[in-house]
Amino acid sequence: MLDCYENVKGKTTLAPTLLERWKTNVKNCRTFPGADIDSDHNLLYADVKLCLKILKKARTLANYDIQSLQDESIKEKYQVEISNTFQALSNTENTPEELWCDFKDNIHKAANKVLGKRKRKAKKPWICEETLQVIDAKRQLRPQSQHSTEINIEYKKLKKDVEKRVREDKELWLEQECSRLEQYNAMHNSREFLKAAKTFDRKTATRNSNIKDKDGKLLTQSAEIKGRWREFAEELYENTDHDPPPIIEVNPSIREPSILLEEIEQAISKLGNNNLE
């Protein structure tokens, strides 16, 4: 049921919200002024046809394994696929828009065929397959260890073995990750360097906000803390022990040298490989 109001002229109208938003969707309506209800509104029956909005899903970019291009064989195979695409497009007489769509589709097909999608890594990648097998064996002996002394002794041995294996696997994984970080740093690949650095566990340290004076006394009052900060800043910017820095005169008429083509090529070569999309 919808609310119905009487205007100044005595005519019955629909609710203002309905008139403003869904007035074109109302197909048929009828009021019931004779209904015995304790209200100044009249009951209304209406047929409303609603047009639901279609929600469009956001287009997701293809996550190809671009790092595999560092392999020379895969790189050469991908170049052959791309060159064949250019040759096929050069023989057509399509419009620029059609050429662009065909070129984009062929690029995605070549990347999907040669490179493939990037695989997701496990949360704890340092555990090897042999350690997982020992963990499964330990899990199977756990229910029986409470009923037999020999099985309990064997279960404890497997438990120690698992802890030792996990510790050794993690140390080996850390060594491999450190060598990989050194390799990315030598290649000036900052994107992969930071991505690999985030895989390590980061422990947040508690922040100590206690302020002490010169004698080591803890300050609790707000005015004393502000005074200590002012005193620290004044001592920090005092430069009585050192000579003032020399003043360098700059001639504004001298212009900087122009950027060389080799510098531009070197800057482009240092860009990340994920800027192809």
The amino acid present at 252, given as its one-letter code, is P
Question: DSSP 3-state assignment of 15?
Answer: coil
Supply 115's token pair: 């490179």
The amino acid present at 225, given as its one-letter code, is I
Spatial contact of 37 and 4, defined as CB atoms under 8 Å apart: no
- Which is it for the CA torsion 74, 79, 80, 85, positive or negative? positive
Spatial contact of 80 and 34, defined as CB atoms under 8 Å apart: no
Q: Which pLDDT does position 7 carry in this prediction?
A: 44
Calculate the alpha carbon distances from 73 to 109, 118, 187, 273 in Å: 18, 18, 20, 17
| Tens digit of pLDDT at every position of the chain (277 positions) | 444 444 444 444 555 555 566 677 888 888 877 666 667 777 778 888 877 777 777 666 667 777 777 788 888 888 888 887 777 767 677 787 887 888 888 888 888 888 877 765 556 777 888 888 888 888 888 888 878 888 888 888 888 998 998 889 888 988 888 888 888 888 888 888 888 887 765 555 555 667 888 888 888 888 888 888 888 888 887 765 666 667 777 777 777 777 888 888 888 777 766 554 4
The span from the CA of 271 to the CA of 263, in Å, is 13
Supply 15's token pair: 């609710």
The span from the CA of 77 to the CA of 58, in Å, is 32
Calculate the alpha carbon distances from 34 to 1, 31, 41, 42 in Å: 15, 9, 11, 8
Question: DSSP 3-state assignment of 175?
Answer: helix
